[in-house]
Structure 1
Amino acid sequence: MTQQIAIKEGLFTWPAEKPELLGSRCIHCGEAAFPAQNDCRACGSRETEITALGNRGTLWTWTIQSFMPKSPYLSDETPETFKPYGVGYVEMPGGVRVESRFELIEGQVPHIGMSLDLVILPFRTDESGQEIMMFSFKPAEE
């Protein structure tokens, strides 16, 4: 079995039955950030803590990525297998907005305010054969 590893430690809980994004929250003013930060961008405090941001958000804004990403964001896709995908900001509970890919459903037009669920997907295989896992979103199953 291929070993799977997160694209970066500390971005999401995984493996988990219901993975969640991980960010930070300022102990003084409550400002949330993703990815987690050591300093608060709102008040400058150096007292933040890791916090779960949840696994469902709403689409805040979006576009379609219709070309293959350049290095260092290369996946295992090739020009022959590449399919356009959604990319946008997903607003998580607590107000933090996360830039992310999201799945496009054939025949469904994404719309601002739609509910999206977090998913963990294979992104690429590294040179040692490990499958690199990343986070993305998909339209929520209501």
Structure 2
Amino acid sequence: MQRMIAPEISTWPDAEFRLVGGTCRDCGATVFPVQALCPRCSGPAVDPVTLPPTGTLVAWTTQGFLPGPPYLGDETAETFVPFGVGLVQLGDVVRVEGRLIENDPGKLDFGMAVVLTTAPLGTDGDGNEVLTFAFRPAEGEGVAR
């Protein structure tokens, strides 16, 4: 069985799942993940909103070492494989930091189009595969300029 690391952050397991953010009714700011108070105006009127499934890679790096706690992956120092981490602009709505499926710096570029997907993170105590959201390069899209 599979489960999302934090079920409240997305509509997974929908076939075309989306991340769930929040939009403030008072000032219009959108955040991810949903927060009880708006970070822009501190208003308590933040409503859940589904975010676009595609975006643009604004910044990225490669995580070249095993993250420390509270990282929930199953890897050890010996089995760890570097992974990409990126800041993705989802439409004109919000920027989200997330794992990248691609970790080869030669295949990543600022401004490239990316699509929301999932990545395996590890196995929980009940034997379920734990997934996290991630972004993959959009097929044939290249750099969005």
Which residue of 1 is the match for residue 127 of structure 2?
A: 129
CA distance in 1, matches of 2:103, 2:124: 28
CA distance in 2, matches of 1:106, 1:60: 16
Identical aligned residues as a percent:
41
Please tell me the residue identity of whatever aligns with 2:113.
Answer: S
Which 4+ residue blocks in structure 1 deviate beyond 6 angstroms? none
Secondary structure of 2:80's counterpart equals: coil
CA distance in 2, matches of 1:21, 1:31: 16
Residue correspondences, number: 140
Deviation of the 1:66 alpha carbon: 0.5
Structure 1 residues 1-142: aligned runs within 5 Å: 3-104=1-102, 106=104, 108-141=106-139, 142=141
Q: TM-score, normalised by structure 1?
A: 0.90
List runs of 5+ in structure 2 lacking aligned partners: none
CA distance in 1, matches of 2:124, 2:19: 23
Deviation of the 1:5 alpha carbon: 1.5
Q: TM-score, normalised by structure 2?
A: 0.88
Please tell me the residue identity of whatever aligns with 2:33.
Answer: P
Please tell me the residue identity of whatever aligns with 1:7.
Answer: I
Assess, with a 3 A threshold, how the Cα gap between structure 1 residues 107 and 9 changes in structure 2: closer, same or farther. closer
List runs of 5+ in structure 1 lacking aligned partners: none
CA distance in 2, matches of 1:124, 1:99: 19
Assess, with a 3 A threshold, how the Cα gap between structure 1 residues 121 and 104 changes in structure 2: closer, same or farther. closer
Q: Contact 1:57–1:117 (CA<8 Å) still a contact in 2?
A: yes
Q: 1:93-122, CA deviations, whole angstroms, 9 ceiling, x for partnerless residues?
A: 233111111022658431111111111222
Please tell me the residue identity of whatever aligns with 1:13.
Answer: T
